[in-house]
Chain A
Amino acid sequence: MPTINVGRDLLHVALGRTYTQEEFEVLCFAFGIELDDVTTEKAIMRKEKHLDDDGEVDADEEVIYKIEVAANRYDLLCLEGLARALRVFDGTEAAPMCKISSIPRNSMIQMFVKPQTSQIRPYVVCAVLRGVTFDEARYNSFIDLQDKLHQNICRKRTLVAIGTHDLDTLKGPFSYEALPPQEINFVPLKQEESFRADKLMEFYKSDMKLKKFLHIIENSPVYPVIYDSNRTVLSLPPIINGAHSAITLKTKNVFIECTATDLTKAKIVLNTMVTMFSEYCKNKFEVEPVEVVSHDGTKTIYPDLSCYKMEVSLSEIVGPIGISLDETQVISLLNKMQLQAESCPSKGEPRIAVSVPPTRSDILHARDLVEDVAIAYGYNNVPKSKPKCMTIGGRQPLNRFSDKLRAEVARAGYMEVLTFILCSREENFDMLNRTHDVNKAVIIANPRTSEFEVVRTSLMSCLLKTLKHNIDHPRPIKIFEVGDVVTLDSSRDVGASNNRRLAALYCNSQSGFEEIMGLVDRIVKVVRAPHVKFGQNYYVPTNEPEFFPKRQCKIVTSDGKQIGYLGIVHAEVLRKFGIPDPCTFVEIDVEALL
């Protein structure tokens, strides 16, 4: 969930009243956001610089609220939108309607899209904010919102990248192109000299903030670039803007371009930017459109601030909540969530027409309206009821059977442990003297550390590791685990299957080979069934590298099927796990006994 930092005092000004922290928390809880932390700019800076409490930093003592908002509410990612939503929720004001300024089509700013862009980043959408008044707080919020959008919906600029420019430094029409990097030269933001695009990429490899975006275009033969009619570079999306058109506190007219690989998200991002900051335009909530001309000649006007129209029946809304309201009540609840609604003329059941504004891109279905009505009604005011369906409970036979075996082994004096399914290749194979069979184990593609390289194919390393961590415990140590291993299995849709195992480990000054055999004898005795048969002698000698020779065997059913194995753990294996005392280990396939 994204978290935004807003100044408490600025928030109070925007909300039109002050709240105690408790009052504000109550409001957050009801609306579905969370006051995560209360801090100061100073404390945040200290934390970033890893200073102690008295470390001197040059920052404000202003109280900052860190607020966590829902991941699909892009309109709550800045102070402007958050305060607006809370004011409307609180009933202080009605939701504003954002609109396109009416300018003749022939005086509209144009953006021409060149065909090469389809190779790398095919979409661009634009808009203009006229007569904006920035102050420091507004300016910072404007920059922060771009940051938050880049982090969230833009998926770290892969899907969408935002560029904002001082329009008065530029001359339209604009062109969105894709050129070989050697042909692009410009002075990037925060730099003094001009760079060639390929050299710039090299330069940014040491830039902590920007280096993580380079991969998006780095290996492409062409880089996306936006020019004005004087061939001034606006931006090299999604990496950096040009220095020439950088916005400042004095900027009045802002040109916004969003380049993208996903058009739907580009539109949402652009809409979010303009609906939030048109609040500071000379004509409040008015946005100047830009015509985007595709290489095939198609012309589209952005932003698209039209409302998404939905028509729902009253019962569709109140039914899933389990409350009874009439349509006027539902409409006023929808209004509190910034959704315009009106009653539809209808003969039968009451129907409601809902206009979803561009800020609420999260509304996809009538069910989303249900949630908004429930939030506005108050989750904690919904009367509780009981589902009426009669059903009969029951266990999975394998799990019930596993529990019976667990109880049996615990009764035999063993201590149950619970270990991790993920382990390192080394633990699962090498440390057990086993070879890594590539046809057997599930391998993790993106492990953070070596602890998570493979899914265990046996419980043996898990029990030895557990023993090692308790090596000072009084002897004898008798531990067991019932758990799943996973092996590759081409008969399954996903190509792997779990197998339930029972494993036990005995450790003492002597190996306890007979102790473990006694445990196996007990298990064999209690699992016998018409379909699970054991002969007189179910131990068959083996010769595996993890055990001492001649002190190991497999356990077989009367039809010769192997259901487990045991042995005195080899000295080399014990050494690798750091265990000084002899051990005997047994592992049994529980599913084969079910």
Chain B
Amino acid sequence: MADKSSSDVEASLLAHLNSGGEVPDSRSYASSLGVTHGELGDVIKSLSAFRIVETAEITKETWVLTEEAKGYAASGSPEAQLVAAIPPEGASKDVLKEKLGSIFDIGMKTAAKNKWIGFEKGNKDLVFRKVDTINDELQEQLKRLESGEVLSDKMIDDLKRRKLITKEKSIWYALKKGPQFVAKRKKLATDVTQEHLRSGDWKDLEFKEYNFGAQGQPIAIGYVQPLLEVREEIQNIFLQMGFSEMPTNNFVESSFWNFDALFQPQQHPARDSHDTFFLEAPAATKQLPEDYLEKVKEVHQCGGYGSKGYGYDWKRDEAEKNLLRTHTTAVSTRMLYKLAQEKPFAPKRYYSIDRVFRNEAVDRTHLAEFHQIEGLICDYGLTLGDLIGVLEDFFSSLGMSKLRFKPAYNPYTEPSMEIFSYHEGLKKWVEVGNSGMFRPEMLLPMGLPQGVNVIAWGLSLERPTMILYGIDNIRDLFGPKVDFNLIKSNPLCRLGLQ
């Protein structure tokens, strides 16, 4: 059988149909082409999918030869093979067994029954032919069945018993021209290759329908952490508003810069070990600005700058105690002190977004460390109205345009305002941050000029991010337990695109 490519088969079939021919039985048409029915079937399926041919399916159950029987049909039944293998002088069983292999036993049995062979007297080992020619009925039956002939029921039963045939459902087709019939169809391409471009045959390309329901290939790429994406957008808002970033890469801070300089009294509950991580090493700060420290001590103990102070015995030891900063306002304080030393005074807008630490019990919404966002403006004559104005600008960039302010208490700001935003999803006002004007008792000892005010606000990075992405457990967003799939599937941060 000459090998024919499927395009040759297709061409022959289409030519046959084009010249008015019909194909009532694809099986016989396949054998007329010299291809298997399977090969023709593939071509038929492809053509009928495009309705170039119209097919009528014909199904029939037929008897087909088993693998064993196919061998007998080709080479003869075991008994015939056995007889053919015996030379005129006879042969020993061992020799025959070696020659015939697995069919030896069955061949011996049937050949003996048919009396085609005999044995030498006194030596059962030597086998003789008893007939010159034999009629191999079995081979003949199998060949007839293979070519599609119908055998008698008795023959079928016999073959079935010998496990030489099995029942098989066969499908074949009757073919005629379909509504989209063409004598020669264009080749359908699945892709554009280099070859198409080089050879120029892209001009004749017709594309196979694409399965857009299937997903694309997974791609190997890198990812950024969702929380840091939000950090970047908030950073951009600050930068647009003219704020410059403060250096916050100092997690270890002294109580002095974290609390005392902010006019936070030494007995304040936030300074309890229940709220703050104090350090065993380095336990205390060695160096504090002495002049400034004296002024801070004075304002705590007895007041000054228009204040009556807290009236308690301020202790240097307490101020020297090191801790992990509880807020980035410790950095703001250092920055404002630095600014106060620069003459002449120049207004500033500062921001930072960095890690802070609280010795709190960890739960779904609280961690021992989180990110604080902080912004502040320092200038002459700033007002609470300015603070409200800036907060509206800032929060509307975060998509929170409906704000309300509630009086609050904070040791270093006065007035202090909690910031609430109306959440459209939750249909209620939610607290989104804290704000206020730094107290004169904090600013004046630094040496900032009288009349200079600082308006400031702070919030956590995690909370708005959790609201933004609908995450209700902070540990799903930040920390070693974050699921990689969350990082991989997180959408782009759209803050600042409104």
Q: Which residues of A contact B (CB under 8 A)?
A: 1, 29-32, 34, 70-73, 152, 155, 159, 262-265, 308, 319-323, 364-368, 370-371, 374-375, 379-380, 382-396, 398-399, 403, 406-407, 409-422, 438, 441-448, 451-452, 455, 462, 465-466, 468-470, 473, 477-479, 484, 486, 488, 492-498, 500
Contact = CB atoms under 8 A, between A and B. Distances in A.
Interface stretch (B57-65, B94-102, B147-155, B374-382): B374-382
Contact of A32 (B305, B408, B414): B408
B277 A470 contact: no
Nearest to B385: A322
27 contacts: A70-B407, A265-B267, A320-B382, A320-B415, A320-B437, A365-B306, A371-B416, A389-B377, A393-B243, A396-B246, A398-B249, A414-B222, A417-B480, A421-B251, A442-B252, A445-B273, A445-B280, A446-B278, A446-B359, A452-B359, A468-B480, A469-B480, A478-B222, A492-B250, A496-B251, A497-B250, A498-B251
B488 A370 contact: no
Interface string B258-289: 00000000010100010001111111111110
A410 B220 CA distance: 11
B303 A364 contact: yes
Residue of A31, A385, A387, A414 contacting most chain B CB atoms (<10 Å): A387
A461 to B, nearest CB: 9
Given A364-B441, A393-B242, A445-B277, 15 more contacts: A320-B415, A386-B390, A395-B244, A398-B249, A413-B221, A442-B279, A444-B324, A477-B484, A488-B281, A492-B250, A493-B286, A494-B253, A496-B251, A498-B249, A498-B251
A418 B478 contact: yes
A322 B383 contact: yes
A4 to B, nearest CB: 15
B312 interface: yes
**What's the interface size class on B, roughly?**
35 or more
Nearest to A406: B224
A441 B324 CA distance: 13
Nearest to A377: B384
Contact of B357 (A374, A383, A398, A422): A422
Interface in B427-448: 437, 439-441
B206 interface: no
Contacts of A394: 239, 244-245
Interface of B: 220-225, 227-228, 232, 235, 238-247, 249-254, 267, 269, 273, 277-288, 303, 305-313, 322, 324, 347-349, 355, 357, 359, 361, 367-369, 377, 379, 381-386, 388-390, 392-393, 404-409, 411, 414-417, 437, 439-441, 453, 455, 478-485, 487-488
B245 A399 contact: yes
Contacts of B223: 410, 415-416
A74 B480 CA distance: 42
A394 B254 CA distance: 27
B224 A496 contact: no
Given A418-B225, A442-B252, A393 B241 contact: yes
Contacts of A370: 414-415
A455 B225 contact: no
Nearest to B393: A386
A102 to B, nearest CB: 27
A142 to B, nearest CB: 24
A219 to B, nearest CB: 19
Residue of B223, B281, B485 contacting most chain A CB atoms (<10 Å): B281
Closest 9 interchain pairs by CB?
Answer: A32-B407, A322-B383, A495-B282, A322-B385, A70-B409, A410-B222, A389-B347, A264-B311, A371-B415
A447 B393 CA distance: 40
A455 B324 contact: yes
Given A375-B407, A422-B369, A444-B324, A386 B389 contact: yes
Contacts of A438: 281
Nearest to B431: A34
Contacts of B388: 379, 382, 384-385
A387 B379 contact: yes
Residue of B286, B383, B416 contacting most chain A CB atoms (<10 Å): B383
Contacts of A495: 252, 282, 284-286, 322
A496 B252 contact: yes
Contacts of A262: 267, 312-313
A387 B390 contact: yes
B238 A365 contact: no
A395 B239 contact: yes
A495 B252 CA distance: 8
Contact of B482 (A152, A380, A417): A417
B455 A374 contact: no
Contacts of B244: 391-395
A469 B484 CA distance: 9
A497 B251 CA distance: 8
A368 B412 CA distance: 11
Contacts of A418: 225, 227-228, 478-479, 482
Contacts of B305: 365
B280 A443 contact: yes
Contacts of B284: 495
A455 B251 contact: yes
A412 B222 CA distance: 6
A478 B238 CA distance: 32
B116 to A, nearest CB: 65
Given A264-B310, A393-B242, A29 B406 contact: yes
Given A71-B409, A370-B414, A380-B405, A496 B222 contact: no
B269 A71 contact: yes
A385 B385 contact: yes
Contacts of A399: 245
Given A374-B384, A386-B386, A393-B242, A470 B227 contact: no
Nearest to A385: B385
B347 A448 contact: no
Contacts of B347: 389-391
A466 B239 contact: no
B404 A380 contact: yes
B308 A364 contact: yes
Given A320-B384, A321-B384, A495-B252, A452 B368 contact: yes
Residue of A319, A413, A442 contacting most chain B CB atoms (<10 Å): A442
Contacts of A447: 277, 359
A322 B384 contact: yes
Contacts of A380: 404-405
Residue of B235, B279, B415, B482 contacting most chain A CB atoms (<10 Å): B415
A422 B324 CA distance: 10
A448 B359 contact: yes
Contacts of A386: 386, 389-390, 393
Contacts of A477: 484
A390 B243 CA distance: 10
B480 A484 contact: no
B254 A403 contact: no
Nearest to B405: A379
Nearest to A316: B306
A396 B249 CA distance: 10
Nearest to B223: A415
A319 B381 contact: yes
B222 A409 contact: yes
A74 to B, nearest CB: 12
A155 B349 contact: no
A149 to B, nearest CB: 13
Contacts of A420: 367-369, 479-480
Nearest to A356: B308
B409 A73 contact: yes
B415 A264 contact: no
Contact of B228 (A412, A415, A416, A465): A416
Contacts of A410: 222-224
Given A370-B415, A442-B282, A395 B245 contact: yes
Nearest to B348: A391
A481 to B, nearest CB: 8
A452 to B, nearest CB: 6
A155 B267 CA distance: 7
